[in-house]
Amino acid sequence: MNLNLKPRVLQWARERAGLDAAALAKKVGGNVTAARVKEWEQTGQLSFTQAKKLAHVTRTPEGFLYLAEPLEDKLPIPDFRTVGDTPLRRPSPDLLDTIYLMQRRQAWMRDFLIEEGEPPLPFVGSANLNTEPERVATDVRKTLGFAEGWANEENTWTEALMHLRQKIEAAGVLIVVNGIVGNNVYRKLNPDEFRGFVLCDAYAPLVFINGADFKAAQMFTFAHELAHLWIGQDGVSNFEALQPPPDRVEQWCNAVAAEFLVPARELRECWPAARQAEEPYQYVASRFKVSTPVAARRALDLGLATRNQFFDFYRGYQQDERRKQHRASKGGDFWNTQNVRVGQRFGAAVVRAAKEGRLLYREAYHLTGLSGSTFDRFAETLGFRMG
């Protein structure tokens, strides 16, 4: 027996998953073809089993397929994503589910910290769009405990990135770096859709970095999302070539991030020497321990390089990075991965609450995406003995 659903709802389910008719047919499997998918979207008629499969592969709650009208997918936080001057398509189920998961974690952590008697963090919302970016960048360094020129003490920019992440977490910010939805390796996050987002809160601010993005781009995203915390502004960000959309909030946050990572005065002082180097952007990157794209973007913004010079470099850089990612191993230490997917600060709080009987284990499993012996082993990596 066929169901009679609304054709526009079926089309909506497919489109929100970013699939064309052929791709959806392949995922549904069986004898379903692209022509059959198009027939569903014209007549609304398909079997109960097919509807269940359709809901599953498009990440659509099954009941939504029975609605008279499609739902309007909206992000629960401000959307600053654009490609050029054009807003992106509706948010994917993967992005939406990731934000909802992070909101649940943040809400639990906020209650936990208040119960612990922790004070609110004074830097969240301490600035506004009229505050000079240079002043905020200085305050960010001070809050994180960085001296001027801190990055020079690191051997490489990757070590500087790790140090930055640790300092941000130590300042009270929940940090999550993940390239998939939770621990579902079949639901990969698309860096072309978003680079990161921030959930502001005076007790449990949260920064999420899309781990599927180029690693070299993540340091700038970290700094950009930090700036969001200073003005207390939630948001999802996505910028091409480290360039924000024509929005005052994003432009201000980019200015703070750039000044934090590569102070203008210092770059201007070293630029004559950089120009004499065989690879000027690499020279700047080595001095400030940032990636070469950040160095090149900063040189462009300060008028030290032309747009043609920057984009010639950036296109070549992207091609090189894609080749490296293709050759790179897909493996890695599972427990180290969990430390960044869950976050050490958040993970330690959940484990302690469960161990002390203040949180049911099933709730701890739900919050972390880990269960049973896997959760116990994760707890041990954080210094807790379970059982």
Task: Please indicate, yes or no, whether residues 214 and 276 belong to a single structural domain of this protein.
Answer: no
Look at residues 212, 195, 192 and name the one whose alpha carbon lies nearest to residue 83: 192
What pLDDT does residue 370 have?
A: 92
Task: Please indicate, yes or no, whether residues 252 and 171 belong to a single structural domain of this protein.
Answer: yes
Burial 343-359 (b: 16+ CB within 10 A, else e): bbbbbebbbbbbbeeeb
Q: Are 287 and 161 in contact (CB under 8 A)?
A: no
Task: Please indicate, yes or no, whether residues 144 and 243 belong to a single structural domain of this protein.
Answer: yes
For residue range 24-54, list pLDDT tens digits in order: 999 998 888 999 989 988 998 988 988 999 9
What's the whole-number mean pLDDT along residues 359-365? Answer: 95
Residue 93 pLDDT > 70, yes or no? Answer: yes
pLDDT grade for 122, boundaries at 50, 70 and 90? very high
Burial 108-137 (b: 16+ CB within 10 A, else e): bbbebbeeeeeeebebbbebeeeeebeebb
Using the 3D structure, point to which of 244, 259, 274 is the last residue of a domain. 259
What pLDDT does residue 275 have?
A: 92
Task: Please indicate, yes or no, whether residues 167 and 219 belong to a single structural domain of this protein.
Answer: yes
Q: Cα–chain-centroid distance for residue 297?
A: 20
Q: Are 183 and 370 in contact (CB under 8 A)?
A: yes
Query: Residue 307 in 3-state DSSP?
Result: helix
Residue 181 pLDDT > 90, yes or no? Answer: yes
Task: Please indicate, yes or no, whether residues 342 and 310 belong to a single structural domain of this protein.
Answer: no
What pLDDT does residue 241 have?
A: 60
CATH code at position 17: 1.10.260.40
Overall number of domains in the chain: 4
Task: Please indicate, yes or no, whether residues 185 and 102 belong to a single structural domain of this protein.
Answer: yes
Separation between Cα atoms, residue 225 and residue 100, nearest integer Å: 18
Task: Please indicate, yes or no, whether residues 244 and 293 belong to a single structural domain of this protein.
Answer: no
Separation between Cα atoms, residue 65 and residue 42, nearest integer Å: 15
Range of the domain at 317: 262-328
Beta strands in the chain (DSSP E): 2-4, 45-47, 82-83, 86-87, 174-178, 180-181, 184-188, 196-199, 206-210, 235-237
Task: Please indicate, yes or no, whether residues 25 and 47 belong to a single structural domain of this protein.
Answer: yes
Task: Please indicate, yes or no, whether residues 119 and 224 belong to a single structural domain of this protein.
Answer: yes
Residue predicted with more confidence, 273 or 245: 273
What pLDDT does residue 332 have?
A: 57
Task: Please indicate, yes or no, whether residues 276 and 202 belong to a single structural domain of this protein.
Answer: no
Residue 362 pLDDT > 80, yes or no? Answer: yes
Asked whether residue 386 is domain-assigned, the answer is no
Asked whether residue 74 is domain-assigned, the answer is no
Q: Are 18 and 91 in contact (CB under 8 A)?
A: no
What pLDDT does residue 98 have?
A: 96
Look at residues 277, 320, 317 and name the one whose alpha carbon lies nearest to residue 296: 317
For residue range 143-152, list pLDDT tens digits in order: 999 987 788 7
What pLDDT does residue 202 have?
A: 97
H helix and E strand count, the chain: 17, 10
Using the 3D structure, point to which of 16, 31, 66 is the last residue of a domain. 66
Residue predicted with more confidence, 349 or 239: 349
Which residue blocks in 172-279 are alpha helix, DSSP H? 215-230, 248-261, 264-276
DSSP 331-362: ---HHHHHHHHT-HHHHHHHHHHHHTTSS-HH
Asked whether residue 77 is domain-assigned, the answer is no
